[in-house]
Structure 1
């Protein structure tokens, strides 16, 4: 792929990430913010140490939320676009749309779902402030392991395909991936700092909302970027050839 196409796809990836971020922002505001408010109410009711609020809650839930989600969407859109450029034509004979959707869904699994199952998202008031560095390190370690293992599984499947065929190579590579991730789950330390009296309904609704935000972001990105990438890599014909046949000049009259 030439550098011009990569640059164009990068820009379109960031644009698709911005649009996907807008959709994820709507989900975050409608599903996530009410659970955050409920968690904050729990914290205020059970804590006697009320610090000074540097940023108002109304600003956090509007401009702060929008800035965070949109910047996140644009950044991940650019990274995913570069991953698409690497994957196109190397993971099978898939077109731009299918490749974009596969990269998007694979990124969702590797970057969010697999780490989420080990270290799920927690609302405010959950977690010991003294362990935040440890928890953050473990979470990013799980992301790194998930991404590297996912890439290794793809490479393994490609190398096994000539001997086992695509179907069995995919099954073996997927089974190996699940096995190694299971071992990582078993050996990495668990983190469970949810207060005993914290409402279970609020906790699970918050986690489901966090998952819904990520699913919305990556699904929207995959569909939109696939459309934009296909237009770049397989441009349409001229308007006078949209019917599939060129317009021939009239024969001269003798």
Structure 2
């Protein structure tokens, strides 16, 4: 069967995911971890006799093991996301505007960042240790995941609008504007109307620390999606001489 084997797309996506995971882990270690350490100092202050707590309790898992586990989990998450991106790219390549696969993958990674990272960060901002009610974790997780699904649906609708206008031979600027309007309106409605359980921030958590942690967390995700898009696009670029040929399933 002629065409571009999907197995090759998946393997190169995995390599890109590994690179993205390493980059995101480095970002976590350099810019996120210092904010977590500061938050832990605040949290430990509550547990000291002078802080109104019940004294220091021995950690079941050392801080070093926690950091290592977090870095490994970051790489694993990036690889899993890369698999999803590769599958979505193979299924929706015909919907993605762009003259070559590098631009198409870049657009897909950019949309992934918006849907999975940026929009949720606006509606459900990340919080450092010591912030948030443990009793509402399940509720907030459900709201968070359902929001991502809804944002993905809006993005899909915008791509369909772009595709339909292309079938009607509308010029590229009209297609781009129409798809952008659909996406922006849909995202705005989600950000405005989607339920989000309020998180109470303790008074001993400095506002600067809170915002630095949120920005650092978003920067880590931006690093992951940027590296994923760039590396995946570069890995696909030399493998296709004819960008019009379809991606096909592998045949034994």
**Length-normalised TM-score, structure 1:** 0.85
Match of 1:186 in 2: 192
- Report the Cα offset of residue 78 of structure 1: 1.2
Match of 1:176 in 2: 182
Match of 1:214 in 2: 221
Once residues 237 and 194 of structure 2 are traced to their aligned partners in structure 1, the CA distance between those partners, rounded to angstroms, is 41
| 2:90 counterpart of 1:79 | no
Change in CA separation of 1:181 and 1:44 when aligned onto 2, cut-off 3 Å: same
**Structure 1 segments unaligned to the other structure (5+ residues):** 236-254
Is the Cα contact below 8 Å between 1:20 and 1:216 reproduced in 2?
Answer: yes
Q: Residue by residue, what CA displacement relative to the aligned partner does 1:138-187 show, whole Å, maximum 9, x if unpaired? A: 11111111111101111022223426532123222222222222222222
Change in CA separation of 1:208 and 1:234 when aligned onto 2, cut-off 3 Å: same
Change in CA separation of 1:87 and 1:2 when aligned onto 2, cut-off 3 Å: farther
| 2:24 counterpart of 1:9 | no
Is the Cα contact below 8 Å between 2:110 and 2:225 reproduced in 1?
Answer: yes
Q: Residue by residue, what CA displacement relative to the aligned partner does 1:73-112 show, whole Å, maximum 9, x if unpaired? A: 1111111111222232432352111111111111111111
**Structure 2 segments unaligned to the other structure (5+ residues):** 48-52, 243-252
**Structure 1 stretch displaced more, 24-33 or 173-182:** 173-182
From 99, 120, 125, the equivalent of 2:130 is 125
Match of 1:243 in 2: none
**Length-normalised TM-score, structure 2:** 0.86
Query: Secondary structure of 1:88's partner?
Result: helix
Match of 1:92 in 2: 97
| 2:216 counterpart of 1:205 | no
| 2:147 counterpart of 1:152 | no
**Structure 1 stretch displaced more, 198-207 or 93-102:** 93-102
Match of 1:34 in 2: 34
Match of 2:250 in 1: none
Is the Cα contact below 8 Å between 1:97 and 1:227 reproduced in 2?
Answer: yes
Larger radius of gyration: 1
- Report the Cα offset of residue 3 of structure 1: 8.7
Change in CA separation of 1:137 and 1:68 when aligned onto 2, cut-off 3 Å: same
Once residues 85 and 227 of structure 2 are traced to their aligned partners in structure 1, the CA distance between those partners, rounded to angstroms, is 13
How many residue pairs are counted as aligned between the two chains?
Answer: 234
Is the Cα contact below 8 Å between 1:115 and 1:146 reproduced in 2?
Answer: no
Once residues 2 and 205 of structure 2 are traced to their aligned partners in structure 1, the CA distance between those partners, rounded to angstroms, is 54
The structure whose RCO (Cα within 8 Å, separation 6+) is larger is 2
The Cα RMSD (Å) is: 2.1
